[in-house]
């Protein structure tokens, strides 16, 4: 009303902090209140593969029989499905499919192999994943397991078992272990 007739009123500008002030404000908020929900990093859940089997009496009996060259088996109930884990002394099977097998190295040691085709075919089954890692962890002389399991796939190093070599003789040699099979003595 008392404004001059030809001029428009001044527009009040919103306060905008400089990028440096914004960074300082964010650091202060982080320090005082922690990260916001959108900034939280989701850490993958750590699963101890093989742990359900390692202390179970039936699995320990199976591994003892495997190292001695004897037969043993037991059934598990996983997700409402009954599955059989068995050994005849030279191989470990899951529902009749060979997962691990051995070949003699010398009279005191055997080489342990992982059947690549069976492992790839069964890698979506939790019971098989736990079985594979339990078998690997039950041989301390083999050291740290060479396999990892991520995103429902087995990996050796950086490549998955699916992308590895295929065909006969392409199974994964895990290492040598000392067996306790009775030695065959020559007859005199």
- What's the CA gap between 112 and 110, in Å, rounded? 6
Choose among 134, 123, 178, 124: nearest CA to 156: 123
Which residues make beta-bridge pairs with 102?
112
Give the mean pLDDT per block of 10 residues along the chain (188 residues): 70 86 88 74 74 89 90 88 90 92 87 89 89 90 83 83 66 82 67
End-to-end Cα distance, the chain: 129
Choose among 109, 121, 102, 113: nearest CA to 162: 121
pLDDT of residue 9: 79
pLDDT of residue 106: 86
Choose among 54, 135, 64: nearest CA to 93: 135
pLDDT of residue 27: 87
pLDDT of residue 43: 66
pLDDT of residue 177: 84
* Residue 85 CB burial class (10 angstroms; 0-12, 13-18, ≥19): buried
């Amino acid at each position: 009303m008392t404004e001059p007739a030809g001029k428009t009123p001044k527009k009040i500008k919103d306060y905008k902090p400089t990028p440096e002030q914004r960074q300082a404000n964010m650091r202060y908020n982080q320090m005082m209140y922690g990260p916001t929900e959108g900034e939280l990093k989701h850490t993958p859940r750590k699963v101890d593969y093989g742990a359900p089997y390692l202390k179970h009496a039936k699995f320990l009996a199976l591994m003892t029989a495997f190292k001695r060259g004897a037969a043993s088996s037991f059934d598990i109930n996983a997700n409402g499905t009954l599955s059989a884990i068995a050994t005849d002394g030279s191989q470990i099977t899951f529902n009749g499919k060979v997962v691990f097998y051995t070949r003699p190295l010398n009279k005191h040691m055997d080489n342990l192999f992982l059947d690549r085709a069976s492992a790839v075919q069964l890698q979506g089954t939790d019971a098989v994943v736990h079985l594979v890692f339990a078998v690997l962890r039950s041989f301390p002389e083999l050291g740290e397991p060479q396999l990892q399991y991520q995103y429902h796939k087995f990996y050796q190093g950086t490549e998955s078992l699916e992308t590895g070599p295929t065909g006969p003789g392409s199974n994964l040699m895990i290492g040598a272990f000392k067996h306790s099979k009775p030695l065959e003595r020559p007859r005199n």
